[in-house]
Amino acid sequence: MVSKYKKAFRTISWLILITCFTAALFHSPAGLAKTASPFDPYTKIKLDSGLTLIVKEVHSAPIAAVDIWVGTGAKNETPEIAGISHFFEHMLFKGTGKRKVGEIAQAIKAVGGYQNAETSLDTTHYYVVVPSDKVNLALDIEADAIMNSSFDPQEIERERQVILEEKRLKEDNPQGKLGLMVYQTLFTGTPYANDVLGTSDTLAKINHDTFVSYYQRYYRPDNIVAVVVGDVNSEQIIDQARLLFKDFKGSTKKPALEFKVPTFDKIERVTATMQVDQTYLYFGFPGPGMNHRDEAALSLLGVIMGGGAGSRLNQEILEKKQLVNEIAAGYSAMEKLGMFVIYARLKKDQTVTLESEVQKMISRISNQGVTSAELIRAKAMLRSDIAYTTESDANIASIIGEYQINGDLEDAAIYLTNLQNVTAKDVQRVAKTYLNPKAYVLARIVPQEVNNQ
């Protein structure tokens, strides 16, 4: 069970995930108004309860993934209940009316499968991967957990301690700590500055009643997407799902989330010290959220700047100037906003030099644009990554679920059309628009003795 601070911190790997399935797109004639869904064929239905079910058959291996997505995450939390989305995620596998503590894990293990869950700022999802002849069990367990979790007070107390342990681990991890620093600085004043893990104070106050209230507010059928991918029969899955979810009802309406997207007009540097040998840093630039027309160009800009050994940052900063030991860049879009991030690990604290070089690179791209060769390379890399991603049923289920819960699965086709149509001019334009060399957050973790720059 992991908290997912931000896709950007998986650097290029998440970029790859959210930009997958473009193979058909890139091979199709240019100029189409809208590309066919990259997930075709699939079946999407809304059950009587209002829950959306998507089934995609993939028969290359006897495996199936069941992934249930809920449209709530840390951004939906008020300050008093900070951390509840993630805490709730932990509790969902802690027993139901018919399965006691530990029985869910045992039941999945007994068929040779595995389970896990993730909470991010936008969403929470629960997945089980099993040999495909056990997909009915997996769906049954997931449905049971979603609808009938017990929230036993004793279990809540135990899990509270587990989450406090998780918080300690995150604090001890330079990258984990850095991620929170950049988010909280860049998105301060918005729900996207929330810590997915919450605070010790808020965690201490969450109880059974808080969980029930949160559940009623967000775990409603119309806020949930169930995805099944693998060596399965769609009709059988649909029949089973209709039965399992027939009594699932939502009791209150999901509250709307409204806030003002911040503008950022200065360079803000935040620094923390740790017992580390090297400096770790993130540059963060605010950008648009999912389904914005510039998302595709920003993704390609990320690959051109910092995706792969042939990217500009790798070639110029790491290989030629040898200013860093590791560097990467990527764009991460969330539901309401996004962030272009550059990550680096440095030998000593050469931040000043690196910062100057990054500013120059951004200015160069803004003024001179990128080459057609760079754009071809970036598109080719994404095209291949699609193929790699589609090897895994769990990955496919995850991508389908995330698209649907954040809007519509068909948005993937629009995004891919946008990607296909991105030109070098577009990349230059988004660089100029969103990568302001005079307005960003620079978050650093530095060795304890190096904190004076």
Place of tokens 């850095």: 178
Check if the beta carbon of residue 142 is closer than 8 Å to that of residue 128. Answer: yes
Between 83 and 286, name the residue whose CB sits nearer to other proteins. 83
Binding residue (CB under 8 A) for other proteins from 89, 140, 195, 393: 393
The Cα–Cα gap between 429 and 433 comes to 6
Q: Does 4 bind other proteins (CB under 8 A)?
A: no
Number of residues located near other proteins, criterion CB under 8 A: 71
Check if the beta carbon of residue 104 is closer than 8 Å to that of residue 115. Answer: yes
Q: Rounded to the nearest whole angstrom, what is the least distance from the CB of residue 261 to other proteins in the complex?
A: 33
In the region spanning residues 140 to 159, those forming contacts with other proteins, defined by CB under 8 A, are: 157-159
Q: Rounded to the nearest whole angstrom, what is the least distance from the CB of residue 234 to other proteins in the complex?
A: 19
Between 76 and 311, name the residue whose CB sits nearer to other proteins. 311
**For residue 29, what is the DSSP state?**
P
C-alpha torsion angle, residues 31, 32, 38, 39 (rounded to 10): 180
Q: Does 114 bind other proteins (CB under 8 A)?
A: yes
Which span sits near other proteins by CB under 8 A: 33-41, 102-110, 250-258, 434-442?
A: 102-110
Binding residue (CB under 8 A) for other proteins from 51, 163, 297, 424: 163
Q: Rounded to the nearest whole angstrom, what is the least distance from the CB of residue 317 to other proteins in the complex?
A: 13
Between 3 and 185, name the residue whose CB sits nearer to other proteins. 3
* Burial call 33-46: b when 16+ CB within 10 Å, e when fewer: eebebbbeebebee
Binding residue (CB under 8 A) for other proteins from 111, 193, 272, 439: 111
Q: Does 204 bind other proteins (CB under 8 A)?
A: no
Tell me the two tokens of residue 390: 């589609």
In the region spanning residues 243 to 282, those forming contacts with other proteins, defined by CB under 8 A, are: 274-278, 280
Binding residue (CB under 8 A) for other proteins from 286, 383, 405, 446: 383
Q: Rounded to the nearest whole angstrom, what is the least distance from the CB of residue 256 to other proteins in the complex?
A: 34
Q: Rounded to the nearest whole angstrom, what is the least distance from the CB of residue 119 to other proteins in the complex?
A: 14
The Cα–Cα gap between 86 and 95 comes to 16
In the region spanning residues 281 to 320, those forming contacts with other proteins, defined by CB under 8 A, are: 308-310, 315, 319
The Cα–Cα gap between 230 and 59 comes to 6
Q: Does 203 bind other proteins (CB under 8 A)?
A: no
Q: Rounded to the nearest whole angstrom, what is the least distance from the CB of residue 337 to other proteins in the complex?
A: 29
The Cα–Cα gap between 370 and 426 comes to 10
The Cα–Cα gap between 53 and 238 comes to 8
Residue 17: Cβ-neighbour burial (10 angstroms; 0-12, 13-18, 19+): middle
The Cα–Cα gap between 106 and 115 comes to 10
Place of tokens 């770790």: 280
Between 69 and 93, name the residue whose CB sits nearer to other proteins. 93
Q: Does 160 bind other proteins (CB under 8 A)?
A: yes
